[in-house]
């Protein structure tokens, strides 16, 4: 991590779900005439040179039921740092609408449909190699054969039969002009506002000159560009992890500063995106109590609650907002105090940190025995000091 000095504030564009929205200004410094020192980290683009063939396609039977037809689209980023040559590996398993997964051996035999921008060939191992020489598109037609698995009939084809297959693959080489940043349930927000000292997982798309968002297959979609992260306050080192298993490998996890501030995310192209870090006085929210069974089951004051296999009463925030606009992160657990007035029946304990729901508070009430459980939740700093308080008394039946 290093620091740098900006001699002036700047206006930046923020992205919403429909494209590029109007600019937002960096928060003012304590001394408008002074330079602003920013702490900086850089996360490099992760290029991808090989991926599965025609990954989005689902096959259909031909009209005469003698062959299979696949259609798909593949987007690539074209520009500095992105692989201009990408291999698509052939797989024996293909998804179809006549069999959930067609099993067997696929062999590509020919490809045609080059354009001035996109060229393609089959290499000696049977992989489809796509080479991009300019921004543009090509409609490739790949002809092949499928040898059906001996495990049983597939789509009406007998085991061992060889089925003609046609793939039509639309290849788009798009030059990115903007990095789009969003959060779960917060893609339509005009301003990206988050709480201090919380972990956030921004999600990224690239945007081309026409305003179209896309996920490039020649880059890790979880950090599809060199990403510079700047903050007025010191930042913990940005992590690249797999928080929800292998499918989330390379997700960017950013821990926001501990004070009202901002975080700037900048790609080598386009405008920066600002995450405004705001404290509790500007935040409004409501809460609900509940238990986690197969789904979330809300619990109301005065209810009788059969716990089944649930072990605790939990608290979720909802309708979080700042100045009337959507909030884009979990709220800080430090803003809330959860108390038990009946600790012999239900006592306060930390929640598991592995839960994926960002709206769950970090404390819960563990139920020890059947009886009356009385809880009090308070957050005195919310909404300009108006605060929030909720009391809950329920009779719990611990099976």
Query: How is 286-305 classified by DSSP, letter by letter?
Result: EEEEEEESSSEEEE-TT-EE
Residue 302, Ramachandran bin (φ over 0: left; ψ between -120 and 50: alpha; else beta)? left
Domains of the chain: 2-46+176-277 (no CATH), 50-64+76-174 (no CATH), 280-397 (2.60.40)
Higher pLDDT, 190 or 305: 305
pLDDT tens digit string along 158-176?
888 888 999 999 999 999 9
pLDDT tens digit string along 91-138?
767 778 776 667 778 889 999 999 999 999 999 988 999 999 999 999
Which stretch of DSSP H or E encloses residue 379? strand 371-379
| Res 325 pLDDT > 80 | yes
Closest CA to 110 of 139, 82, 145: 145
- Paired sense of beta strands 85-89 and 50-52, if any: parallel
| Res 33 pLDDT > 80 | no
Question: With bands split at pLDDT 50, 70 and 90, how would you rate the model's confidence at 210?
Answer: very high
Query: What is the Cα–Cα distance from 366 to 311, expressed in whole angstroms?
Result: 6
Query: What is the Cα–Cα distance from 273 to 345, expressed in whole angstroms?
Result: 48
How confident is the model at residue 235, as a pLDDT? 82
| Res 28 pLDDT > 60 | no
How confident is the model at residue 222, as a pLDDT? 87
Query: What is the Cα–Cα distance from 181 to 328, expressed in whole angstroms?
Result: 11
How confident is the model at residue 188, as a pLDDT? 63
| Res 329 pLDDT > 80 | yes
| Res 230 pLDDT > 60 | yes
| Res 379 pLDDT > 70 | yes
Higher pLDDT, 244 or 48: 48
pLDDT tens digit string along 173-183?
999 999 999 88
- Report pTM: 0.80
End-to-end CA distance of the chain: give it in Å, rounded: 52
pLDDT tens digit string along 249-280?
678 888 888 888 899 999 999 999 999 999 99
Query: What is the Cα–Cα distance from 334 to 376, expressed in whole angstroms?
Result: 15
Among the residue ranges 29-33, 211-215, 285-289, 373-377, the one predicted with the least confidence is 29-33
């Amino acid at each position: 991590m290093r620091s740098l000095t900006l001699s002036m504030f700047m206006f930046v564009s923020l992205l919403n779900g429909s494209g590029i929205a109007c600019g937002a200004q960096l928060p003012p410094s304590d001394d408008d005439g002074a330079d602003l020192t920013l702490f900086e980290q850089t996360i490099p683009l992760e290029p991808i040179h090989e991926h599965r063939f025609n990954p989005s396609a689902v096959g259909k039977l031909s009209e005469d039921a003698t062959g299979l037809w696949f259609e798909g689209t593949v987007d690539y980023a074209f520009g500095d740092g992105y692989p201009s040559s990408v291999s698509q590996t052939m797989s024996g398993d293909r998804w179809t609408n006549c069999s959930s997964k067609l099993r067997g051996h696929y062999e590509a035999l020919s490809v045609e449909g080059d354009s001035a921008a996109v060229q393609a060939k089959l290499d000696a191992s049977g992989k489809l190699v796509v080479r991009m020489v300019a921004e543009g598109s090509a409609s490739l037609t790949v002809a092949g054969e499928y040898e059906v698995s001996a495990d049983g009939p597939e789509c009406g084809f007998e085991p061992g039969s060889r089925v003609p297959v046609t793939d039509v693959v639309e290849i788009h080489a798009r030059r990115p002009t903007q990095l789009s940043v969003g959060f779960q349930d917060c893609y339509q927000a005009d301003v990206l506002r988050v709480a201090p000292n919380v972990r956030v997982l921004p999600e990224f798309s690239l945007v081309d000159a026409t305003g179209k968002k896309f996920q490039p297959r020649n880059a890790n979609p979880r950090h599809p560009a060199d990403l510079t992260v700047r903050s007025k306050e010191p930042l913990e080192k940005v992590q690249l992890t797999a928080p929800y298993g292998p499918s989330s490998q390379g997700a960017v996890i950013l821990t926001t500063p501990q004070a009202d501030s901002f975080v700037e995310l900048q790609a080598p192209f386009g405008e920066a995106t600002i995450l405004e870090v705001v404290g509790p006085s500007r935040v409004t929210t409501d809460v609900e109590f509940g238990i986690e069974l197969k789904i979330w089951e809300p619990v109301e004051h005065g209810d009788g609650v059969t716990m089944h296999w649930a072990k605790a009463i939990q608290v979720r925030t909802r309708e979080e907002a700042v100045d009337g606009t959507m909030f884009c992160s979990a709220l800080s657990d430090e803003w809330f105090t959860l108390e038990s007035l009946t600790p012999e029946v239900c006592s306060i304990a930390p929640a598991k940190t592995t839960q994926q729901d960002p709206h769950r508070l970090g404390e819960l009430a563990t139920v020890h025995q059947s009886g009356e459980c009385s809880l009090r939740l308070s957050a005195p700093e919310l909404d300009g000091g108006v605060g929030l308080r909720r009391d809950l008394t329920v009779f719990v039946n611990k099976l």
